[in-house]
Structure 1
Amino acid sequence: MSDRDALRKQMEKDGIEYLLVQFVDITGAAKVKMVPASAFDAAIDEGAGFAGGAVWGVGQGPHSHDMLARIDLDSYSPIAWKPNTARFASDLFVDGEAHPYCPRTNFKRVLSDAREAGYVFNVGMEPEHFLVVRDDEGALRVWDPDEVDSLSKPCYDFRSMAPAMEYLQELTASLNRLGWGVYQCDHEDANGQFEVNFDYTDALTTADRVTFFRMAASQLAAKYGAIATFMPKPFSDRTGSGLHAHYHLADAENGNDLFQSENDGRGLGCSQLAYHFIGGVLHHARALCAVTSPTVNCYKRLQLGAGLQSSRSGYTWTPAFIAYGDNNRTQMIRTAGPGHFEDRTISSATNPYLALAAY
């Protein structure tokens, strides 16, 4: 919905009184200013002002001119836990010019180049996360109010997931009201670890949704006495959290999936373009890893040798092998279906705009 007058009417219908003008820093953390809905036009045309030197990695110091975050109308997201408020993803400007250190602006530049070449990048991402609490000494431990989430293999276990069902249902309902198409939730391989899956779409929208998902999970988890953490490896003896990316290139004119082929001699249903694409990913895998696994903690998740079986469940499910395969979760690139690749190495701590732009 890119027409401001139509959106203004929708906001009035939705009872929106406040807007969160939101962008991300270099780590992917959401940064916001709250403005009244009466400042809607100013948020579009001028933007909300920020002192860039107060934010990590946006190329500014205390002497720099103000950054102005201008909202993207297509990112309108009413907030379920604060019904009078809506969030807008924003792009940064300085002195009237697009700011090149804005991760979202940079990603839009990359996607524009791809579209000029005839491609649209479609992506779905799977945000794994832990629900935790802090003990009296400040250390993290698994959120387990019923003291039932203790299996060494808790993945998909009903009893282990049951205490979190209300949280997961509220999260699902709030996202589906925004049209995300959440289609499943599960207890993951580690105690206190969960995943929510929603429909794939164009890469920019997916990056915006991952950012909002983190915001939503953190606020809704707090209602249930938990902390939602996207730290990739909060516990050394449990499987870590990823942000697995499923993707393909589509034709910019007709939307057809360009990664599928019925004439694949390897039997995976993939086109020559698809193999060329993942060939580039594998060739640059180590460099990509610096962006997709940006913190020291990320590398506690990526394991080789004995580390592959260092989790309580018996497997880390986190391949550090630069390889592709069929429907095989021990490879960096899993072919989940014809023309459908999944990168399993991406960390839950990554900045989705930077990670997908690097692709």
Structure 2
Amino acid sequence: MSTLTVGTTLETIKEEIKKSNVELLHLQFVDIEGVLKHVTVTVEQLDDVVDGKIMFDGSSVAGFSPINKSDLYLLPDLNTFAVLPWSVEPNYSEGRFICSITNPDGTLFEGDPRNIMKKTIDKAAEKGYSINVGPELEFFLFKADENGLPIQETQDLGGYFETSPRDYGERVRLEIYRALKKMGFTIEASHHEVAEGQHEINFKYDNALTAADLATTYKWVVKTIARQFGLHATFMPKPIFGSNGSGMHVNISLFNNEKGSNAFFDENDPRQLSETAYQFIAGLLDNVKSFAAITNPLVNSYKRLVPGYEAPCYIAWSASNRSALIRIPAKRGIATRVEIRCPDPSANPYFAYAAIAAAGLAGVTSALEVPAEIVDDIFSMSESERTNRGIENLPTTLGEAIAELKEGTIGREVLGEHAYNEYVALKDKEWESYRMAVTEWELNRYQVKF
């Protein structure tokens, strides 16, 4: 059965459950940080599951409900049903659904990241567009101790595109690939990344909601399979000082619903980009500081966004220049897309893709004019040269990014009042905790000297 595919019916799911001897169903959702949660029920409760009758305590999930309004319900998306490959035994297996969250009266819960993504999709549809997203999530594999906790030693010493025997992660990636394929993914590439112990497995783009479901599933599968090898997989943006960090480059395009065509493509333009594409790029550049706290949500995120490690830290665009924040991959026609390179894989994909889409659409709605393309290597420019050419920096700390989020409008518009307030409060607390912490670096530098 092909999973994560539009058009899945309850009858086909029941057939697959019978064929695979599914006994348990995991009902999954994410909290406001994008962390996967689930409750497990028996397959005998399938009808109640499909009718959205499974309840949980929303007050026990950070950022969801107050204790006096804690009852929430899980409404599964039938298109997300999958049998879990690692659960399969003779006459036994487990399945999962990704769920949206509803209130007791059946209305969509405003704090659910999946529902928030749907609102952005609906707003795009009102303008005549559908949104496609293709994310690229990098991760590290670390060795683990006897308790399964990571130690600061990578699983291999390989580099970019290296092969075995230096790429010890090849076997792990193979098993991840097999699991993802069985769960309905279309895998396009798998390889070792630049840093030691760093890997990437690319899957095919899809509509924005499904892309966020796929990214969430991908992270779960990667961690699960790595654990079977006695390893710890992390999507932490910068786990090793002095090495490249992990990104989540987001490839995004708009399709014209009436024409069924890629709204970013214009064969008559010198770059074969449409006016809509240029306006979308302008919207991203205009709003990126405001949504950085969403696409790069951790204290650690800003230790990746520094010069010298390929991650973009300067606000500019280019048709091919990888030192720019936004670039346009070479393919055209139906594959024309905009790639924004600052997001990292710790981001909540539902929030991140919604914020990116909304920012670009704001540029289209306001008919913003795109600034000049930067074709030179921005990393090699002096600070004065960047200033003279109007190239600004991304926020350099989570504290700066939170301030930009509060000052801008895009975060509140995308997340809605409830999720915005909860998210900002969470990030404020995280930044304050870090700001007051005494680190090993400080002790090593100051304890003896002073």
Asked whether 1:236 is paired with 2:246, we answer no
Asked whether 1:358 is paired with 2:355, we answer yes
Q: 1:200, CA displacement in angstroms?
A: 0.6
1:347 to 324, 344, 348: 344
The residue that corresponds to 1:140 in the other structure is 151
Give the paired residue count: 340
2:319 to 298, 314, 326: 326
Q: Alignment partner of 2:210: what SS? A: helix
Q: 1:136, CA displacement in angstroms?
A: 8.5
Asked whether 1:85 is paired with 2:94, we answer yes
The residue that corresponds to 1:247 in the other structure is 252
Q: Deviations over 1:212-264 (max 9, x none)?
A: 11111111001111011111111111111111111110122453111111122
Q: Deviations over 1:163-205 (max 9, x none)?
A: 2122111111121223321021111111111000011111111
The residue that corresponds to 2:382 in the other structure is none
Contact 2:27-2:76 within 8 A present in 1 as well: yes
| TM-score, normalisation: structure 2 | 0.72
Q: 1:134, CA displacement in angstroms?
A: 4.3
Which amino acid letter does the alignment assign opposite residue 311 of structure 2?
T
CA shift in 2, pair 1:262/1:127, >3 Å: same
Which region of structure 1 is more displaced relative to structure 2, 100-109 or 4-13? Answer: 4-13
Q: 1:161, CA displacement in angstroms?
A: 5.5
The residue that corresponds to 1:226 in the other structure is 231
2:329 to 322, 331, 336: 336
The residue that corresponds to 1:22 in the other structure is 28
Q: Alignment partner of 1:9: what SS? A: helix
Alpha-carbon distance between aligned partners in 2 of 1:124 and 1:273, rounded to the nearest angstrom: 19
Q: Alignment partner of 2:315: what SS? A: coil
Alpha-carbon distance between aligned partners in 2 of 1:54 and 1:201, rounded to the nearest angstrom: 32
Can you give the 5+ residue segments of structure 2 that lack an aligned partner in the other structure? 1-6, 357-450
Alpha-carbon distance between aligned partners in 2 of 1:209 and 1:301, rounded to the nearest angstrom: 24
1:277 to 271, 275, 280: 280
Alpha-carbon distance between aligned partners in 2 of 1:13 and 1:252, rounded to the nearest angstrom: 38
Runs of 4+ in 1 over 3 A off after TM superposition: 134-140, 159-162
Q: 1:352, CA displacement in angstroms?
A: 0.4
Contact 2:85-2:183 within 8 A present in 1 as well: no
Q: Alignment partner of 2:98: what SS? A: strand
Query: Which is higher, the Rg of structure 1 or of structure 2?
Result: 2
RMSD value, Cα: 1.8
Can you give the 5+ residue segments of structure 1 that lack an aligned partner in the other structure? 310-315
Alpha-carbon distance between aligned partners in 1 of 2:275 and 2:9, rounded to the nearest angstrom: 40
Q: 1:348, CA displacement in angstroms?
A: 1.1
The residue that corresponds to 2:118 in the other structure is 108
Alpha-carbon distance between aligned partners in 2 of 1:128 and 1:47, rounded to the nearest angstrom: 37
Q: 1:344, CA displacement in angstroms?
A: 0.7
The residue that corresponds to 2:436 in the other structure is none
Q: What percent of counterpart residues are identical?
A: 32
Which amino acid letter does the alignment assign opposite residue 344 of structure 1?
R
Alpha-carbon distance between aligned partners in 2 of 1:62 and 1:200, rounded to the nearest angstrom: 39
Which region of structure 1 is more displaced relative to structure 2, 6-15 or 226-235? Answer: 6-15
